[in-house]
Amino acid sequence: MPSRLGLTLALLFVPIAPLAHAQSAQYVSASKCRACHLPESKSWEQTKMSQAFELLKPGVRAEAKKAHNLDPDKDYTQDEQCVQCHTTGHGAPGGFESVEKTPNLTGVQCEACHGAGGEFTKPELMSFQNKEFKLTDVVAAGLNPKPDLTTCQTCHNDKNPFNKPFDFETRKAAGVHQQFPLKYAHE
């Protein structure tokens, strides 16, 4: 089994951009990720990202909405400009469509940053059947193991009415989920 340092070094040399075929992958939701990544999932559940969709509901964070000239009593859960950042995969194949059709993709879930899991969570790649999968294989299938500033700027940008100065390095250090030791080798 390689050392954690070895895995970290290997990650530095893995190409991050998913292949074109992986960009059309279907979204599977955080519940699929949770099965193997329970500590990360529990950590993510404590973040605002997991509850991002709730912020769009009438009356939620009314003072913050008023401060940004938004109607605090309006239901923003169907507002196209809002749901693109408060859901997972909005506008992409298999991504969020509506609360009625895809309730499992509300909030900013794993796939919003790590890519649609429909391809890289297949049993022959990343699964309980293949616990020691090769990282290069799942990256080739669309996994983004190390989201970067560009990933975050998809939503943290000047178009966002709640945009505050976004300090990527500070956010990265705090982590959406803490760094947990990997249970299995993923060379």
Q: By percentage, how much of the chain surpasses pLDDT 70? A: 80
- 138 touches 119 (CB < 8 A): no
Query: Which secondary structure element, helix H or strand E, spans residue 83, and what is its range?
Result: helix 80-86
Is the entire prediction scored with pTM above 0.75? yes
Return d(Cα 71, Cα 76) in angstroms, integer. Answer: 9
pLDDT, tens digit (0-9, with 9 covering 90-100), for 110-165: 999 999 999 988 888 887 788 788 889 989 988 998 888 999 899 988 888 777 77
pLDDT at 18: 37
Of 49, 51, 52, 42, the closest CA to residue 178 belongs to: 42
pLDDT at 177: 61
Return d(Cα 103, Cα 87) in angstroms, integer. Answer: 10
Return d(Cα 86, Cα 68) in angstroms, integer. Answer: 17
Lookup: tokens for 164: 């505050």
Return d(Cα 98, Cα 105) in angstroms, integer. Answer: 9
pLDDT, tens digit (0-9, with 9 covering 90-100), for 6-31: 333 333 333 333 334 345 689 999 99
Burial of 54 (0-12, 13-18, 19+ CB in 10 A): middle
pLDDT at 6: 37
- 96 touches 88 (CB < 8 A): yes
Model confidence band, residue 79 (pLDDT cutoffs 50, 70, 90): very high
Return d(Cα 177, Cα 147) in angstroms, integer. Answer: 13
Residue recorded with tokens 């959406």 = 176
pLDDT at 1: 39
In the chain, what are the domains? 4-174 (1.10.1130.10)
pLDDT at 22: 44
Collect contacts of 69-73 with beta carbons under 8 A, ≥24 apart: 69/161, 70/161
Q: Give, as one character, the DSSP assignment of residue 60.
A: T
3-state SS, residue 87:
strand
Lookup: tokens for 38: 């329970």
Say whether pLDDT at 187 is over 70: no
pLDDT, tens digit (0-9, with 9 covering 90-100), for 81-93: 999 999 999 999 8
